[in-house]
C-alpha cells in the first residue's frame, strides 16, 4: 500500500485539537477524506487549518500538539 | 521617594525591546534582555548588555509566564522591569509580582492597571472624571420599557448589543422606534441562544467615526499630555498607519480632548506613560471615551517626533520616583508625523503571515526619517510572535510634506526574503482619500476590497 506524507504548509506551532480542552481532530488509525482538517498551524498569531490532501488512513503523526514545526516538515503519514 | 535603578530587565521582544534598550542606555542603565529559545539571535539580544533565556518558543511558556519572567528578573540582579507593550504589560498580577520581588515596575500601579483593564470600572472612572462616553444604557436594560426610556433620551440610530457578546455578534442597529421594537426581542433571543444570556444594553450608534487617542505621562501626582494621534486606518481592529497630530481635529476640540485625558489620568493619580483612546465623530465634533491603555504604545514615535520628547526615557524616569521634568506649557506641536507599520504579511494574499530569512535589507534615511525595527540582514524572523517587523516613521513641516517624505522613504526601504506590507503603504501614500485625510475606522477594509491586488512589491 502506498503512503504519503502530509507536510506542514507553514512554519509555526502545530495544534492537533481545535482548543486545549477539545479532543484531537484525528488520531492514528483514523480514516480521512481529502480536505478533512487534521490540525492547525499558528503562525504570527493567526491560525491556519491543515487539510488532508488525499483520502486514506493516518498511520503516524510526526509532530505532537504544540510542537514548533517548519514549512515542509512532515506532520503525519497517510496510507492511501 | 526616588529609587536608585542601575539595571533594567526587558520583559518583551522585537522592536519595542530594541527601543527600550536604547532609552535605558541613554539613561546610563545596564540592560538585561529576556528572550525565548526562538529569540536567542534577536537584535535586542545582540544589543543588550546581557541576555537571559526565559523559556521555549511558545509565548505562553516564555514571555507570558509571570513566574518565569519574575524569577529570571530577580536572578539577573536587575532592579527594574520594563514590560513593553502586549504580553504582560497590562497584567496587574505581573506588576504586583515584580513589586513584591522588590523590583521597580516601569508602568502604573497594579491597581491602576486593574481599574483600566476592566471595561466597567474604566467607564465608571471616565464618567467620574467628566470624560464624555458614548450615550447609552451604561449597563443592562432589563425590560422593553426601560429600553424605551433610554432610546427616548439618546435618540436614533441606536445599537443593541448583547451583554455577554463580543466580536460583533449579537449587535443590531435600529434607526426608528418601529425597527427598535421589532429588533429588541430578536436580539435578546439571539443573545440567549449564542451566549446563554439574553441580557442587552443600548448605545448610540455612531455610523462613521475616527480613532483619536491622547498620550499622557504622569508621575503619580502631576499629569501632562503630549497631544493626540489619529489611528483610523485599521484592519481587523489592528492599527496599520498612524499620525500625529489628528489632521481633522479643530483646535478647540483638541484642547477639550487633551484636557479630558489629563482629567482622567489625574483623577486616578496616574504614574507612567498611558493613552486614552476615543471615538471621534467629525460630523458632530463629539468625542467619546473608548478605553485607557496603561502602557507605552506601538505608535508612540509619532508623538515623539512632533513634541521632541523621548517618552520611553521619561516613563523609566517617573517609575524610579522622579517628578515630571516638563510642564504642560513646555510641550508644543511642531509639524506632522506619520508611522507605517511594516509587517511580515502578504497584502495580496489576505495578509498571510510571512516569517523567514531576511536575505537583504536597505533602511531608508535622510532628514526626518526614523526606522524602529527588529531587523538585520541574515536574521530569521520566527513564526511564533506577531508579524511587526518595524515601524517607518517620518516627520516634516506639515502633513502634505510628511506624506511626500513617507512615499520617498517607503521607496528606499528594501526588505529581501520575506513578503511585507510595504506595498500596501506605498499604495495608501498615493491614495487621494488618504492624502486628504478623508477616512474613518472602516475606510481601510473597504479600500482593500478594491485595491489589495495592487499592494504587492
In eight-state DSSP terms, residue B118 is S
**Beta bridge mates, B339:** B242, B393
Domains in chain B: boundaries? 7-106, 144-204, 210-454
B144-204: CATH architecture:
2-Layer Sandwich (3.30)
Contact list, B353 vs chain A (CB under 8 Å):
10, 43-44, 46
pLDDT at B168 over 80: no
Phi, psi (rounded to 5 degrees) for B96:
-65, -45
Tell whether the torsion through CA atoms of A71, A73, A79 and A80 is positive or negative.
positive
Cα(B324)–Cα(B326) distance, rounded to whole angstroms?
A: 6
Contact list, B356 vs chain A (CB under 8 Å):
11
Q: Which residue, among B215, B219, B266, B272, has the nearest Cα to B81 in the 3D structure?
A: B272
Where is average pLDDT lowest: B63-67, B97-101, B160-164, B306-310?
B160-164
Cα(B247)–Cα(B433) distance, rounded to whole angstroms?
A: 13
pLDDT at B162 over 90: no
Q: Does A46 touch chain B (CB under 8 A)?
A: yes
Nearest to B58 among A10, A46, A66 (CB): A66
Model confidence pLDDT, tens digit, residues B202-234: 989 888 899 999 999 999 999 999 999 999 999
Q: Which residue, among B215, B210, B315, has the nearest Cα to B275 in the 3D structure?
A: B215
How many other C-beta atoms are found inside a 10 Å radius of the C-beta of residue A23? Answer: 10
DSSP run (H or E) holding B408: helix B399-412
Write down how long chain A is: 80
Q: How confident is residue B119, by pLDDT bands cut at 50, 70 and 90?
A: confident
Contact list, A46 vs chain B (CB under 8 Å):
353
B7-106: CATH architecture:
3-Layer(aba) Sandwich (3.40)
> Percentage of chain B surpassing pLDDT 90?
84
pLDDT of residue B166: 57
pLDDT at B417 over 70: yes
Helix (H, G, I), strand (E, B) or coil at B242: strand
pLDDT of residue B145: 83
Cα(B53)–Cα(B157) distance, rounded to whole angstroms?
A: 53
pLDDT of residue B236: 87
B210-454: CATH architecture:
2-Layer Sandwich (3.30)
- Count of alpha carbons within 13 Å of B110, Cβ hemisphere only? 11
pLDDT of residue B139: 76
Q: Does A43 touch chain B (CB under 8 A)?
A: yes
> From A13, which residue of chain B is nearest by alpha-carbon distance?
B384
B295 in active site: yes
Model confidence pLDDT, tens digit, residues B381-410: 999 999 999 999 999 999 999 999 999 999
Cα(B273)–Cα(B312) distance, rounded to whole angstroms?
A: 8
Model confidence pLDDT, tens digit, residues B264-312: 999 999 999 999 999 999 999 999 999 999 999 999 999 999 999 999 9
Q: Which residue, among B278, B263, B275, B294, has the nearest Cα to B88 in the 3D structure?
A: B294
Q: Does A9 touch chain B (CB under 8 A)?
A: no
- Count of alpha carbons within 13 Å of B33, Cβ hemisphere only? 28
Q: Do A45 and B355 touch (CB under 8 A)?
A: no
Q: Which residue, among B377, B272, B390, B372, has the nearest Cα to B22 in the 3D structure?
A: B372
Strand order in the sheet with A3-7: A3-7, A74-79, A56-61, A31-32
Q: Do B387 and A45 touch (CB under 8 A)?
A: yes
* Spatial CB neighbours of A22, under 8 Å, sequence gap ≥ 6: none
Check: CB of residue A22 under 8 Å from CB of residue A74: no
How many other C-beta atoms are found inside a 10 Å radius of the C-beta of residue B22? Answer: 15
Rounded to a whole number, what is the distance in Å from the CA of B28 to chain A's nearest CA?
34
DSSP run (H or E) holding B361: strand B360-362
pLDDT of residue B165: 63
Place of cell 512532515: A74
Model confidence pLDDT, tens digit, residues A31-79: 999 999 999 999 998 899 999 999 999 999 999 999 989 889 999 999 9
- What are the Cα distances from residue B186, in Å, to B161, B163, B190, B450? 11, 14, 6, 34
Cα(B44)–Cα(B46) distance, rounded to whole angstroms?
A: 5
Mean pLDDT of B349-358: 95
Q: How far apart are the first and last CA of chain B?
A: 53
Domains in chain A: boundaries? 3-79
Instruction: Write down the pTM of the prediction.
Output: 0.91
Q: Which residue, among B311, B249, B304, has the nearest Cα to B280 in the 3D structure?
A: B249
More confident residue, A21 or B112: B112
* Spatial CB neighbours of B217, under 8 Å, sequence gap ≥ 6: B223, B224, B225, B226, B272, B273, B274, B311, B314, B315, B318, B324
Helix (H, G, I), strand (E, B) or coil at B396: strand
> From A43, which residue of chain B is nearest by alpha-carbon distance?
B383
Catalytic residue among B19, B295, B317, B399: B295
pLDDT of residue B167: 52
Which of residues 312 through 351 in chain B touch A, CB cutoff 8 A? 344-345
Q: Pull the grid cell for residue B399.
A: 502633513
Write down how long chain B is: 457
Cis geometry, peptide bond prior to residue B245 (ω within 30 degrees of 0): yes
Cα(B218)–Cα(B199) distance, rounded to whole angstroms?
A: 38
Q: CA B364: distance to chain centroid?
A: 24
Cα(B412)–Cα(B430) distance, rounded to whole angstroms?
A: 16
Cα(B114)–Cα(B253) distance, rounded to whole angstroms?
A: 30
Check: CB of residue B32 under 8 Å from CB of residue B51: yes
Check: CB of residue A39 under 8 Å from CB of residue A67: no
Cα(B180)–Cα(B173) distance, rounded to whole angstroms?
A: 8
The CATH code that applies to domain A3-79 is 2.40.50.100
**Beta bridge mates, B224:** B217
Amino acid at each position: 500500500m502506498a503512503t504519503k506524507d502530509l507536510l506542514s504548509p507553514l512554519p509555526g506551532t502545530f495544534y492537533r485539537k481545535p482548543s486545549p480542552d477539545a479532543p484531537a481532530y484525528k488520531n492514528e488509525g483514523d480514516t480521512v477524506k481529502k480536505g478533512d482538517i487534521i490540525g492547525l498551524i499558528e503562525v504570527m498569531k493567526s491560525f491556519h487549518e491543515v487539510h488532508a490532501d488525499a483520502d486514506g488512513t493516518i498511520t503516524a503523526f510526526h509532530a505532537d500538539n504544540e510542537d514548533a514545526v517548519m514549512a515542509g516538515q512532515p506532520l503525519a503519514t497517510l496510507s492511501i | 521617594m526616588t529609587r536608585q535603578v542601575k539595571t533594567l530587565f526587558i520583559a518583551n521582544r522585537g522592536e519595542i525591546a530594541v527601543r527600550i534598550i536604547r532609552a535605558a542606555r541613554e539613561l546610563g542603565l545596564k540592560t538585561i534582555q529576556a528572550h525565548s529559545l526562538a529569540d536567542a539571535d534577536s537584535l535586542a539580544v545582540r544589543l543588550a548588555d546581557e541576555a537571559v533565556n526565559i523559556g521555549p518558543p511558545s509565548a505562553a511558556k516564555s514571555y507570558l509566564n509571570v513566574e518565569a519572567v519574575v524569577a529570571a528578573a530577580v536572578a539577573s540582579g536587575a532592579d527594574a522591569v520594563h514590560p513593553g507593550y502586549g504580553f504582560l504589560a497590562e497584567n496587574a498580577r505581573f506588576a504586583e509580582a515584580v513589586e513584591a520581588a522588590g523590583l521597580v515596575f516601569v508602568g502604573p500601579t497594579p491597581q491602576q492597571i486593574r481599574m483600566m483593564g476592566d471595561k466597567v470600572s474604566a467607564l465608571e472612572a471616565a464618567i467620574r472624571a467628566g470624560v464624555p462616553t458614548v450615550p447609552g444604557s451604561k449597563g443592562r436594560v432589563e425590560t422593553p420599557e426601560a429600553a424605551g426610556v433610554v432610546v427616548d433620551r439618546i435618540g436614533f440610530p441606536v445599537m443593541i448589543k448583547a451583554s455577554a457578546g463580543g466580536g460583533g455578534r449579537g449587535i443590531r442597529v435600529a434607526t426608528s422606534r418601529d425597527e427598535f421594537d421589532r429588533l429588541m426581542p430578536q436580539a435578546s433571543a439571539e443573545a440567549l441562544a449564542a451566549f446563554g444570556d439574553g441580557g442587552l444594553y443600548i448605545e448610540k450608534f455612531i455610523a462613521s467615526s475616527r480613532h483619536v487617542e491622547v498620550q499622557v505621562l504622569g508621575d503619580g501626582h502631576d499629569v501632562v499630555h503630549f497631544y493626540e494621534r489619529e489611528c483610523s486606518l485599521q484592519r481587523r481592529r489592528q492599527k496599520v498607519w498612524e499620525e500625529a497630530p489628528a489632521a481633522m481635529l479643530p483646535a478647540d476640540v483638541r484642547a477639550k480632548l487633551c484636557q479630558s485625558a489629563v482629567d482622567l489620568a489625574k483623577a486616578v493619580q496616574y504614574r507612567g506613560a498611558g493613552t486614552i483612546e476615543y471615538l471621534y465623530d467629525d460630523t458632530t465634533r463629539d468625542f467619546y471615551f473608548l478605553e485607557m491603555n496603561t502602557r507605552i504604545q506601538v505608535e508612540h514615535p509619532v508623538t515623539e517626533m512632533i513634541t521632541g520628547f523621548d517618552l520611553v526615557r521619561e516613563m523609566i524616569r517617573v517609575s524610579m520616583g522622579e517628578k515630571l521634568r516638563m510642564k504642560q506649557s513646555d510641550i508644543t506641536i511642531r509639524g506632522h508625523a506619520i508611522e507605517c507599520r511594516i509587517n511580515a504579511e502578504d497584502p495580496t494574499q489576505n495578509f498571510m503571515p510571512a516569517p523567514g530569512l531576511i536575505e537583504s535589507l536597505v533602511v531608508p534615511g535622510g532628514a526626518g526619517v526614523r526606522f524602529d525595527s527588529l531587523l538585520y540582514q541574515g536574521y530569521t524572523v520566527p513564526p511564533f510572535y506577531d508579524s511587526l517587523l518595524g515601524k517607518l516613521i517620518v516627520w516634516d513641516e506639515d502633513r502634505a510634506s510628511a506624506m511626500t517624505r513617507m512615499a520617498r522613504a517607503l521607496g528606499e526601504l528594501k526588505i529581501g526574503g520575506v513578503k511585507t506590507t510595504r506595498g500596501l503603504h506605498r499604495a495608501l501614500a498615493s491614495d487621494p482619500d488618504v492624502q486628504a485625510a478623508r477616512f474613518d475606522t472602516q475606510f481601510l477594509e473597504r479600500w482593500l476590497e478594491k485595491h489589495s491586488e495592487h499592494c504587492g512589491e
